[in-house]
Structure 1
Amino acid sequence: MRIFLAGASGAVGRRVIPALTGQGHSVVGLTRNPSSAARIEASGATAVLGDVYDAAGLASAVAAARPDVVMHQLTDLGAGDRAANAKVRVVGTRNLVDAAKAAGVRRIVAQSISWAYEPGVSPAVEDTPLDLHGAPDRVATVGGIEALETAIAELPEWVVLRYGLLYGPGTWYERGALMARAAEEGNLPANADVSSFVHVDDAASAAVAALDWPTGAVNVCDDEPAPGREWVPVFCAAVGAPEPARVDAERTGWARGADNTRARKELGWVPGFVSWRDGFAGL
């Protein structure tokens, strides 16, 4: 297949390229950073410089690539700016979908998140509604996800990868990164809120597998949703941070984790790190 990969220099994208080319696919990787182009080329893809906010330029790049599939791994998380990331999800996705449609692409695979679901008791499954009625800052995040998922569903075939919290090299959850610094400063409490994680290598493997998955949303996370009281102390120890403060407040309603049964049982995807406990040990 010919694949146009937006976000080719990101934590997931840079792992997706060698996996795709190793299976014989032809990859065109989009990056806005000239310094990333050489790394993309070294991974076996063709690098294209462009900006997803330049709709005309993006449309030209996609048309020139003549892809069978567009893969959306766009984020803007380097500076920890959630507003910038929401903009990518809304505006960047809109431009990418329009470019794909103009080029006659039938299939798109896109990165989403698994903590956008409405409040509930148990880990969320894929048909759980998104949480569009919470606090304003949460609605801004979830609204960006809704815009992304609505846009990609305009193509005849689409897969939404609702990733758990990404950890490992190039993510917020590694030594020296954003969440490790928060832990070092005592700003990562061990509370009752439940999270689901996915190692960045497993996120990439799911993206490649999704080339053949049926249309729909899929929770891509490990087997063990866990409250902060369990995972935060393990993460702190892994990154050399002090023991965290324990918070006894009740769980936030939406912080429920996600259920990966569909990925595992229906689609045959098995994470290499079945639990964050194993993955954190390598941080």
Structure 2
Amino acid sequence: METTWSHLTVLLTEAVQALSINPDGHYVDATFGRGGHSRAILQRLSPQGRLTVFDKDPQAIEVARQLAAQDARVTVHHSGFAAIADLPPASADGLLMDLGVSSPQIDDPARGFSFRHDGPLDMRMDTTRGQSVAQWLETVPIPTLTEVIRDYGEERFAAQIAKAIDRRRQERGPVRTTGELAEIVAGAVKTREPGKDPATRTFQALRIFINAELEELQQALEASLHLLKPQGRLVVISFHSLEDRPVKQFMARHSRTVVDRRAPFAEPAPTRLADVRRVMPSDAEVQGNPRARSAVMRVATRTGVA
């Protein structure tokens, strides 16, 4: 019997409100997941409205295609969110990106995202292509592994963890399961943060790296400026500082008037984003869904400047 993994959509009402839905408009959900945001958007669209959805995850795409089969307004792309760059310029009234890993991915041991249940060490968002974490760990040099764990996990014991993983593969062969990796990390991390498993940062780092999440985020943010119509809304939900920081910096950079110091009397470069704001989940949502506690939503409006 196939297990159905549940998912509570974070900042559902706030995200849809931030999109300021035009019933006849075109909206893009760049991270479909299990479709919580998409269904809420569709409820506000007229028969002439359109919704385009993207996701890497084959399981998510299966759900999206079922939705599209029932609703002709929906178009589905089995791609990461950087592929929004392939959509026609100035064609969207709103763009939503809900970053990170979804509850069904975390809760399913077969996906290898979590150390809570032992499973194959995979962590790929798209299981149809690319290397799994287990395959990558077989041959990665210690300096590269150290850098990945340090930079993407903000882990101060990165060097010790990398050496422990290398020692394990030299003595007993490759690391194959989430349980094996969590045990190695626990043995290498001498100081534990209260309430946090010592493997948390390492698992985050390997997941972000193997899926090229931060690189894809940067590409998608840049593409958003070409995709959105004037007055179109950009809405991004992040779950940790490595995701939120580039979003915050991107919105700040494009909403700030810039003067070219080489030509101080020239007109300042016009801003491309406006009305930038931050939205946090309510106390009630955090109580009902603990995974919402780290969420940050940032919103911006596309100006009319090309």
Q: TM-score range by the shorter chain?
A: 0.3 to 0.5
TM normalised by structure 1 equals 0.41
Structure (1 or 2) with the greater helix fraction: 2
